[in-house]
Amino acid sequence: MELLSGNEAIARGAWEAGATIGVAYPGTPSTETMENFGKYEDVYAEWCTNEKVAVEVGMGASMAGRRVLSTMKHVGVNVAADPLFTAAYTGIGGGFVILAADDPGMHSSQNEQDSRYYAMAAHIPMLDPADSSEALKFTRDAYELSERFDTPVMIRSNVRVSHTRCLVEVGEKVPFEPKPYKKDASKYVMMPLYAKVRRVVLEQRVADMKAFVEECEYNKVVEGADNEIGVICAGSTYQHVIEALPEANVLKIGVSWPLPEKKIRDFAASVKDVYVIEEGSEYLSNQVKALGVTLSETVRPLKPEGELTPGLISYAFGKDIPSHIESPEDLPPRPPALCPGCPHRPVFRELHRIHAIVTGDIGCYTLGALAPLEGIDSVLDMGASVSMAHGVELALQDKAHNPVVAVIGDSTFAHSGASSLLNTVYNCGTGTVCILDNRTTAMTGRQGNPVNGVTLQGRPSRELDLPAFVRSMGVDDVRVVDPQDLEAVKRELGDATKNDHLTVIIFKSPCVLLERKQREKYWINANCRGCGICTTLGCPAISRDSESRLASIDPSLCCGCSQCSQLCPFDAIVHEGK
């Protein structure tokens, strides 16, 4: 037995099943899955530029006979949807398992999604483990199912399953002999002639899978003390239900598409009242009601958004919330902020100062939208900053307007920002694009990407020449600036936003969490006038006395970046040597 998180268990399950190739784009809560898979011997794992590419690489490896694991977070499934839907038509060669990790409660995401809708729409079976133990077993079994039904199989996780550790019965690796590659255009070339035939194959596969889920071990009834209450649920919600309602009969759904229709009807008929409990979605309840099952209403409604807890479920069924100590309400707020010394901070401060219209992107630099920086006006999805800036320019081209600036990180630029920039170049767009190159994919845990040339397994690689790459698209005005130099940031942004052509500024400086250099720390001397300009950086290390208004620096947080010293007009901020 080993104590494993869901992510570790899925990686282990893929390895035990003989998967030897892993492809992914990092994204919370899925990231550690591929990082752990890449640690096993005799496997190859890589970060891909985005989830679509990952599925395409995975399908190539599967077609050539290997068992493959691909992982992504829920919004990544949107990016991967194009190959995913057609992969359901072609089927696979070696077993192909895709992890979709949902994030109810949006702990680190821009929205809540239920990936089960993708499984239903694409006609791809989805397994829904409730804990790490099932995550390992379901993943290991999913390869057999993938090859049995000739289809990719999805594993759905969420933040609780992905990050919660529990004891898991691990096994040995089962040797898998890669299947020989067999040329078969009628299976893998989805021109209409062949696709129409494969659609018929898909329908027969769905019928076969529907028969399978009625009898498989993954969908089972867990009997309670009486037949008054019956609950249908799946995934981690099952753990909450059996804690909140130990007396209830529970139909635990392990395959959330296709659903076991007969088993659901039989279960509903066996209890007095039947309920569906699920978080942040109506996928399961709508499917059950579509079967003609009448669901009972809870005493109090469950909230439609965010995560569920046993307490919320108990309360919905009319139980009182156990007495507890309320959290104090007079604690000072502590909003999220960019790290002390973050090289993005001077860029956002300057964009705020010049009142730019800033379209932002996905990454830790999204925090630049918060006070006091307030340097971002929009964040939609990966790569949208550059496309949206082009749209803003089109809308305002006949009007006087503030400078339009797109801000995007290096990894996100490689993910999908490059195609957006190419579109702007192709359509003769203008404005300023800032690529914040901090040499890593910072938000998900400092993974490598094509711009810094660091691979998942530390193999020798190539580092993208970002300025040359941007110039090759047709951008004539490309600049590389050190964002830790505040005067250079001000000068280059001021110049770029005043011209009438497209300018790309690459602000290149490593993430402070990468280097962790022990530079001389800064402190504030008697020259401080309490003007407060240093606090406009929003650095967590800087604070002001509520009465004297004088500033101070927390030495335990200061990393010696010198940003505040450059900003102080009174030479009041000096490093330890002075």
What are the structure tokens assigned to 429, written together? 């767009």
Q: And the tokens for 227?
A: 């037949």
258 exposure class (CB count in 10 Å sphere: 0-12, 13-18, 19+): buried
Question: How many CB atoms within 10 Å of residue 321?
Answer: 9
Q: How far apart are CA 81 and CA 361, in angstroms?
A: 21
Q: How far apart are CA 87 and CA 85, in angstroms?
A: 5
Helical axes 74-90 vs 192-215, angle rounded to 10°: 110
Q: Which residues contact 496 (CB under 8 A, 6 or more apart)?
A: 432, 477, 479, 503, 505
Beta bridge partners of 505: 434, 479
* 558 belongs to an annotated ligand binding site: yes
CB 204 within 8 A of CB 253: no
Does 568 belong to an annotated binding site?
Answer: yes
User: How far is residue 411's CA from residue 365's CA, in Å, rounded to a whole number?
Assistant: 12
As a dihedral over the C-alpha atoms of residue 302, residue 304, residue 306, residue 310, rounded to 10 degrees, the angle is 20
Q: Are the C-beta atoms of 126 and 155 separated by less than 8 Å? A: yes
* Measured distance between the N- and C-terminal CA atoms of the chain, rounded to whole angstroms: 57
428 in a known ligand binding site? no
Omega cis (within 30) before 510: no
DSSP element (H, E) containing 72: strand 68-73
Name the nearest CA neighbour of 97 among 140, 56, 131: 140
Dist CA 245 CA 230 (whole Å): 10
Question: Residue 531 annotated as binding?
Answer: yes
Task: Tokens 């359509």: give the residue.
Answer: 427
Whether the CB-CB separation of 445 and 419 falls below 8 Å is answered with no
Sign of CA dihedral 197, 203, 204, 206: positive
**Cα–Cα distance for residue pair 125/209, rounded to 1 Å:** 8
Separation of alpha carbons 24 and 73, rounded Å: 10
> Which residue type, as a one-letter code, is found at position 364?
C
Binding residue per annotation — 166?
Answer: no
CA 413, 31, 285, 140 torsion-angle sign: positive
The residues, any chain, with a CB within 8 Å of residue 193's CB and separated by 6 or more, are: none
3-state secondary structure of 223: coil
Closest CA to 237 of 154, 116, 109: 116
The β-bridge partners of 503 are: 432, 477
Token pair belonging to 100: 């979709």
Tokens linked to 246: 């130990």
Is 342 annotated to bind a ligand? Reply is no
254 contacts 234 by C-beta, under 8 angstroms = yes
Q: Hey, which residues does 504 pair with through a beta bridge?
A: 433, 478
Q: Are 318 and 300 in contact (CB under 8 A)?
A: yes
Binding site, annotated residues for [4Fe-4S] cluster: 528, 531, 534, 539, 558, 561, 564, 568
Binding site, annotated residues: 528, 531, 534, 539, 558, 561, 564, 568
